[in-house]
Amino acid sequence: MYRTHHCGELNASHINQTVTLCGWVQKTRNKGFVIWVDLRDRYGITQLIFDAERSEKTLMESAKNLGREFVLQITGTVIERASKNPNIPTGDIEILVDSLTILNEAKTPPFTIEDDTDGGEELRMKYRYLDIRRNPVKNNLIFRHKVTQEVRNYLSSINFIEVETPYLIKSTPEGARDFVVPSRMNEGQFYALPQSPQTFKQLLMVGGMDQYFQIVKCFRDEDLRADRQPEFTQIDCEMSFVEQDDILNTFEGLTRHLLKTINGVEVGTFPRMSYDEAMKTYGNDKPDIRFGMAFGELNEVAQHKDFKVFNTAELVVGIAVPGGNSMSRKDIDKLIDWVRRPQIGAMGMVYVRCNEDGSYKSSVDKFYDQTDLAKWAELTKAKSGDLICVLSGKTKAVRAQLSALRMELAERLGLRNPKEFAPLWVTDFPLLEWDEETQRYHAMHHPFTAPKPDHIELLNSDPSAVRANAYDLVLNGNEIGGGSIRIYDKKMQALMFDHLGFTPEEAKAQFGFLMNAFEYGAPPHGGIAFGLDRLVAILGGQETIRDFIAFPKNNSGRDVMIDAPSPIDSMQLNELNLKLK
């Protein structure tokens, strides 16, 4: 036994006890006649004291030469501190050290091991093992562990079974790009790493497992956008003999359980909103509803005057910024510049000041009178003191622009409180979306998603109008989970592959095993998958997933700590029957 206690547990009740502790030197203060050392381990910090009167000379000498991050084992007596530190659990005591063993020395770390470090992102990633010593990173990893434990215990308690599905599976061209793994034993053939266990969980339903989950790594070889990882973790779930409502209720239960046990927050019934409604009201299929600023569509009350910009627009739509009338002309001009940035892409912005006296002052007073503006205020739910911001243009584009503006303003107004949680379900997603590049429809969710039964006829006449029993769980403006009711009928699945442009032969080659399985008695089923990295980050009050992953990769998919990927030797390539081009 290297130690009798951790560095976070000693307090006044231990005074006079002899203890042995291990840990890292957080800092030393040398006053000549007395030396204090803060000793740190995962559990906390305990102050050590060496003093000229009570400690042996050789011990004092050793203590003087301790560097930051040296690894120590010390034995000593717990004594009361002269000057207490009420900010830490061990702040009432310190250890008068009798013996000191340096278990390992340390070079000066390349950045400070403190909550606010001086290390930049790249340096911290290269020395991630030192970064993990810092409380914020360490606590994020512990937090992640707690979340997964709660997920597992909750789902297990309601009869879900965690089943491990394989990682070496089959490549399919549908969806994102696969990572592939050459097979040595099967020459010229490749496994693929799963983008998700989708087909396996459906096969488990055909196999009668009834309620399945798995916390599982998934892989996508995509060009990495910011905050995407080539490997990421899903909470993957599937249930048999369920309708959409059963799934929403079950996983609303899980989410409510997490918010309660992890965050101590009680949340009521989650709002449910159709995709169409979310797009209309927030311009976004993952609206942040911690705050208002719902869209008011103004076509009817803005296209009857001579303002050409509005009259030629497909959509005129505004939001009321709470208290926005306090903005100066200069502030508003800056806001207009902001929406005109290429990343947002609006042509301009019309605004209306809602004065305290009930009058309105707009940037388009030339065209609109007080009665017009009052109607705008009504439709955007503006109150006096607010500022109405109005954009116009093509429906899809203008909704995206106004949604971005809404989020930006909420951020500036401090309305995106990370301690507040506003979940909602967005349902009835489109089944298909048109892909300009390939000039064909793609499955919006995936090819196994069931269309709404009364929309099946529309598949031929108006594919983009077909809605699916597909749903997303949205939390604070982030999609944290998504799923659907699946097709469980072979004919329907074949019809769907047909609409997605698969020949029957292609469908058979790629998904034959699933379609075969459907011939042997598939139950109605559906499921959901949560992005664990993002879920944990949001529950942790943050938005950067990288901070909740122990060893993340950078935007080029590299692990800069271990320097992977890297060349392999030619013998390995030979064995795999491969050649670099």
Q: 470-529: which residues touch its own copies (CB under 8 A)?
A: 488-489, 512-513, 517-524
Q: How far is the CB of 102 from its own copies (least distance, A)?
A: 10
The residue (of 73 and 117) whose beta carbon lies closer to its own copies is 73
Between the alpha carbon of residue 339 and those of residues 163, 218, 324, 495, 573, the distances in Å are: 48, 36, 16, 43, 52
Q: Please list every residue from 532 through 561 that binds its own copies, using CB under 8 A.
A: 549-551, 553, 556-559, 561
Q: Which of 36, 111, 127, 338 binds its own copies (CB under 8 A)?
A: 127
Q: Counting contacts by CB under 8 A, is residue 71 touching its own copies?
A: yes
Q: Select from 160-168, 341-349, 415-423, 434-442 the region that touches its own copies (CB under 8 A).
A: 160-168
The residue (of 138 and 412) whose beta carbon lies closer to its own copies is 138
Alpha-carbon distance of 299 to 316, in angstroms, equals: 5
Output phi, psi for 436, to 5 deg: -65, -40
Q: How far is the CB of 524 from its own copies (least distance, A)?
A: 6
Q: How far is the CB of 213 from its own copies (least distance, A)?
A: 9
The residue (of 159 and 439) whose beta carbon lies closer to its own copies is 159
The residue (of 51 and 162) whose beta carbon lies closer to its own copies is 162
The residue (of 380 and 469) whose beta carbon lies closer to its own copies is 469
- CA 31 to chain centroid, in Å, comes to 47
Binding mask 390-429 for its own copies (x = CB under 8 A): ----------------------------------------
Q: Please list every residue from 201 through 220 that binds its own copies, using CB under 8 A.
A: 203-204, 206-211, 217, 219
Q: Counting contacts by CB under 8 A, is residue 168 touching its own copies?
A: yes
Q: Please list every residue from 175 through 194 that binds its own copies, using CB under 8 A.
A: 177-186, 188-193
Q: How far is the CB of 3 from its own copies (least distance, A)?
A: 6
Q: Which of 53, 223, 454, 505 binds its own copies (CB under 8 A)?
A: 223
- CA 9 to chain centroid, in Å, comes to 33
Using a 10 angstrom Cβ sphere, with 0-12 exposed, 13-18 middle and 19 or more buried, the burial of residue 274 is middle
Q: Which of 29, 64, 84, 138 binds its own copies (CB under 8 A)?
A: 138
CA atoms within 13 A on the CB side of 416: 17
Q: How far is the CB of 577 from its own copies (least distance, A)?
A: 5
Alpha-carbon distance of 193 to 216, in angstroms, equals: 12
Q: Select from 234-242, 302-310, 413-421, 453-461 the region that touches its own copies (CB under 8 A).
A: 234-242
Q: Are 197 and 233 in contact (CB under 8 A)?
A: no
The residue (of 175 and 230) whose beta carbon lies closer to its own copies is 230
Q: Select from 224-232, 290-298, 367-375, 461-469 the region that touches its own copies (CB under 8 A).
A: 224-232
Q: Select from 198-206, 292-300, 308-316, 413-421 the region that touches its own copies (CB under 8 A).
A: 198-206
Q: Show the tokens assigned to 491.
A: 């004919």
Alpha-carbon distance of 73 to 55, in angstroms, equals: 16
Alpha-carbon distance of 33 to 23, in angstroms, equals: 24
Question: How would DSSP label each residue in 202-233?
Answer: HHHHHTT--EEEEEEEEE---PPPTT--SEEE
The residue (of 168 and 465) whose beta carbon lies closer to its own copies is 168
- Site size for its own copies (CB under 8 A): 126
Residues 6+ apart with CB under 8 A from 352: 318, 360, 361, 362, 363, 373, 376, 377, 382, 387, 388, 390
Q: Counting contacts by CB under 8 A, is residue 580 touching its own copies?
A: yes
Alpha-carbon distance of 168 to 385, in angstroms, equals: 60
Q: Please list every residue from 286 through 325 that binds its own copies, using CB under 8 A.
A: none
Ramachandran sector of residue 228 (left: φ over 0; alpha: ψ -120 to 50; beta: rest): beta
Q: Please list every residue from 5 through 44 that binds its own copies, using CB under 8 A.
A: 22, 24, 40-43
Q: Counting contacts by CB under 8 A, is residue 164 touching its own copies?
A: yes
Alpha-carbon distance of 539 to 530, in angstroms, equals: 13
Q: How far is the CB of 177 from its own copies (least distance, A)?
A: 7
Q: How far is the CB of 114 from its own copies (least distance, A)?
A: 13
DSSP letter at 109 equals P
Q: Counting contacts by CB under 8 A, is residue 576 touching its own copies?
A: yes
Q: Counting contacts by CB under 8 A, is residue 104 touching its own copies?
A: yes
Q: Which of 148, 303, 478, 544 binds its own copies (CB under 8 A)?
A: 148
Residues 6+ apart with CB under 8 A from 380: 294, 295, 296, 298, 318, 319, 320, 388
Q: Is the peptide bond before 565 cis (omega within 30 degrees of 0)?
A: yes
Q: Counting contacts by CB under 8 A, is residue 199 touching its own copies?
A: yes
Q: Show the tokens assigned to 357.
A: 């006296």
Q: Are 573 and 181 in contact (CB under 8 A)?
A: no
Between the alpha carbon of residue 199 and those of residues 153, 293, 487, 527, the distances in Å are: 25, 40, 12, 12
Start-to-end CA span in the chain (Å) = 56
Q: Tell me the residue type at 545.
A: I
Q: Tell me the residue type at 103.
A: L
Strand partners, 21: 74
The residue (of 79 and 102) whose beta carbon lies closer to its own copies is 102
Q: Which residue do the tokens 């607010």 mark?
A: 386
Q: Counting contacts by CB under 8 A, is residue 131 touching its own copies?
A: yes
Q: Select from 170-178, 293-301, 320-328, 334-342 the region that touches its own copies (CB under 8 A).
A: 170-178
Q: Please list every residue from 260 through 279 that binds its own copies, using CB under 8 A.
A: none
Q: Select from 27-35, 48-56, 157-165, 262-270 the region that touches its own copies (CB under 8 A).
A: 157-165
Query: SS3 for 235?
Result: strand
Q: Select from 85-93, 105-113, 330-338, 369-377 the region that touches its own copies (CB under 8 A).
A: 105-113
Between the alpha carbon of residue 257 and those of residues 251, 267, 275, 503, the distances in Å are: 9, 9, 25, 45
Alpha-carbon distance of 542 to 551, in angstroms, equals: 18
Q: How far is the CB of 409 from its own copies (least distance, A)?
A: 36
Q: How far is the CB of 449 from its own copies (least distance, A)?
A: 18
Q: How far is the CB of 128 from its own copies (least distance, A)?
A: 7
Q: How far is the CB of 166 from its own copies (least distance, A)?
A: 5
The residue (of 190 and 367) whose beta carbon lies closer to its own copies is 190
